[in-house]
Structure 1
Amino acid sequence: MGKKPATYADLEALPEHVVGELVAGELYASPRPAMRHAVVSSRLGGELMGPFGRGRGGPGGWVILDEPELHFGDDVLVPDVAGWRKERMPVVPDTAATSLAPDWVCEVLSPSTRTLDREAKLPVYAREGVRHVWLMDPRTRTLEVFGLRDGRYTGLLTHVGAAPIRAEPFDAVELDLAFLWGAQ
């Protein structure tokens, strides 16, 4: 007899020092991100907030959130950073989670979450219609940008290093990768 699928109650029973996610009936418990990981995700959210969240030096029109809890049927995902166009989320709900798929997510890869982020979560994001996914690897200083085309992700950009770049859907503003990687 097979193992029964994990439930939200299993996720709630996890200790506070882990990040819990449910994907395809499997419970994933990851340690809190290491400092290098936290630097990248925090700086990315901060860099996007001014031009895209507030419209300072950029077009505005986005809601950018750190580690939102996303409920997609039985799947519960927690990306490092996510963004919704304001026309789709004009008001941030006063709830612990949302079932409204973001327009963009960023996963900062770490040794303990690399397989989860690439192999388990990407198909769920595609199924839910998340139009852009960024995978950032602080160890190799690599940014991979994917766009949803015909229900599948296509690689739009792979950038290695610290040179400034422009990347969909935030290509209206140049991103300072040296800063994001924590070099400054």
Structure 2
Amino acid sequence: MTDAAKKKATYEDLYDIADNMIGEIIDGELIAAPRPSRRHSSTIAKITSTVLPPYEYGRGGPGGWIILVEPEIEFGENILVPDLAGWKEERFIWEEEQNPISVIPDWACEVLSPNTARLDRVKKMARYAEHGVSFLWLIDPILMTLEVYRLESGRWTLLGSYAENDKVRVEPFQEIVIGLGDLWLKTVKDKDA
């Protein structure tokens, strides 16, 4: 079958993905990736526990955000599943009970892994810009880095790159200090050092 004759993937095709996989539709192609590794999952949990209390609950921060882990979001004909996404509360549609979410988030966060880094950096990053996500974080738990981007005139502007044990105030959550050293998976060997 030629590329031109290939059927474009639809939301219903996501139901055929095995439970141990994450399915996305990008440029009409069904993409299935394995569930995140321990290092990846640990970083997602730690950034969530850092951002959620001050920004969703207003504990030590301004509140006013909705933060979700691995939400299915509709970006035109694409269905993307960022590791984390956040909406300013006034923009979030509470009445929507079913996936995919139709409102573009204000912030997306991708935790990079060797299997997904190219997809996250090339295709997903472009779709986020195309649809107006205001802020994007790319976190690499292996290299222990954080890259923070702001969308300006339809293009990503790198606001900063941070590493290892940096303590940072970064958009859109600049009211709090994030200790990057707290985000990385520590082994027993690391803790004893």
Q: Same fold (TM over 0.5)?
A: yes
SS in structure 2 at match of 1:20: strand
In the TM superposition, what are the counterparts of 1:19-38 in structure 2 within 5 Å?
A: 19-38=22-41
Contact 2:23–2:31 (8 Å) recurs in 1:
yes
Which stretches of structure 1, 4 residues or longer, exceed 4 Å deviation after superposition?
Answer: none
Q: CA deviation at 1:152?
A: 0.8
Gaps of 5+ in 1: none
1:52 maps to 2:52? no
Please tell me whether Structure 1 or Structure 2 has the larger radius of gyration of its CA atoms: 2
Count of matched residue pairs: 184
Q: CA deviation at 1:7?
A: 2.0
For the aligned residue pairs, the C-alpha RMSD in angstroms reads 1.4
CA-to-aligned-CA distance 1:82-115 (integer Å, 9 cap, x gap): 0000121163732232110000000000001001
Q: Percentage identity across aligned positions?
A: 45
1:162 maps to 2:162? no
Partner of 1:179: 182
Amino acid aligned to 1:99:
S
- Aligned-partner Cα distance in 1 for 2:100–2:7: 24
User: TM-score by structure 2 length?
Assistant: 0.91
CA-to-aligned-CA distance 1:123-165 (integer Å, 9 cap, x gap): 1111111000000000000100010000011111111212211
In the TM superposition, what are the counterparts of 1:135-154 in structure 2 within 5 Å?
A: 135-154=138-157
CA-to-aligned-CA distance 1:57-104 (integer Å, 9 cap, x gap): 111110011001001221000000000001211637322321100000
User: TM-score by structure 1 length?
Assistant: 0.95
Gaps of 5+ in 2: none
Which residue among 115, 118, 130 is the counterpart of 1:115? 118
